[in-house]
Amino acid sequence: MEDLIEDEATFYSKAELYWKEVNPTVDGMLGGYGSISSIDINGSKKFLYKFLGGPGKTGTGCALDCGAGIGRITKRLLLPLFRTVDLVDVTQEFLDKAKTYLGEEAKRVGNYFCCGLQDFHPQAGRYDVIWIQWVIGHLTDDHLVEFLRRCRSSLRPDGLIVIKDNVSYEGVVPDHVDSSMCRDLPLLRQIVARAGLTILCEEQQQNFPEEIYQVHTLALR
């Protein structure tokens, strides 16, 4: 992927500028596909339920929402399941909006971190689940490997990292509009292995519009 990026600093700064122009709404977070939000959340719930609750299962104390935006996933998926949720996003306006969008439940948010994931260092041993959705395309391969390694160190016992993202049919497909890349599954699996993680479960999200990329969810540890 790195050979498709002319300049790393520009790759990141262009993405920041793109998101600063996006409306802080569910439709904005989903690139005009706000109508798929419920399908997405329901699919994520079914996936996550497999790992939660009971001895030897993943705990429900604290979750991290990566690339959280205004908190769409925090509100509908994570806060109903976890006692505390932290949000990290590169756009301060989105995090400011999250404080009102989350309503009364915002009191259970532990931290709002304004930071790109390439620079973010999650606290060691803090999280039961780290949810990373529709954001890995904004990281170079090397930065994604390094970020996943940091995530691994920030998990509690039996903790879980979940990646949910677009996958291309073959190779790496650049998006010059939002300054991101879409990887195929073999490359994503290779990155996961480089980070020292194992794929516990992998599923394709069903019932999304045919014109968008396939979306796959991977549970890692």
The verdict on whether residue 118 carries a ligand-binding annotation is: yes
Sole residue written with tokens 């994931």: 117
Helices of type H across 50-197: 72-73, 92-101, 141-153, 185-194
The verdict on whether residue 67 carries a ligand-binding annotation is: yes
The verdict on whether residue 72 carries a ligand-binding annotation is: yes
Q: What is the DSSP string of 69-105?
A: TTTHHIIIIITTT-SEEEEEES-HHHHHHHHHHTGGG
Name the DSSP class of 52.
Answer: B
CB 33 within 8 A of CB 84: no
The verdict on whether residue 71 carries a ligand-binding annotation is: no
CB 127 within 8 A of CB 180: no
The verdict on whether residue 204 carries a ligand-binding annotation is: no
The verdict on whether residue 31 carries a ligand-binding annotation is: no
The verdict on whether residue 133 carries a ligand-binding annotation is: yes
CB 81 within 8 A of CB 63: yes
Residues 100 and 72: their CA atoms lie apart, in Å, by 12
Binding-site residue numbers are 67, 72, 89-91, 117-118, 133
List binding-site positions for S-adenosyl-L-methionine: 67, 72, 89-91, 117-118, 133
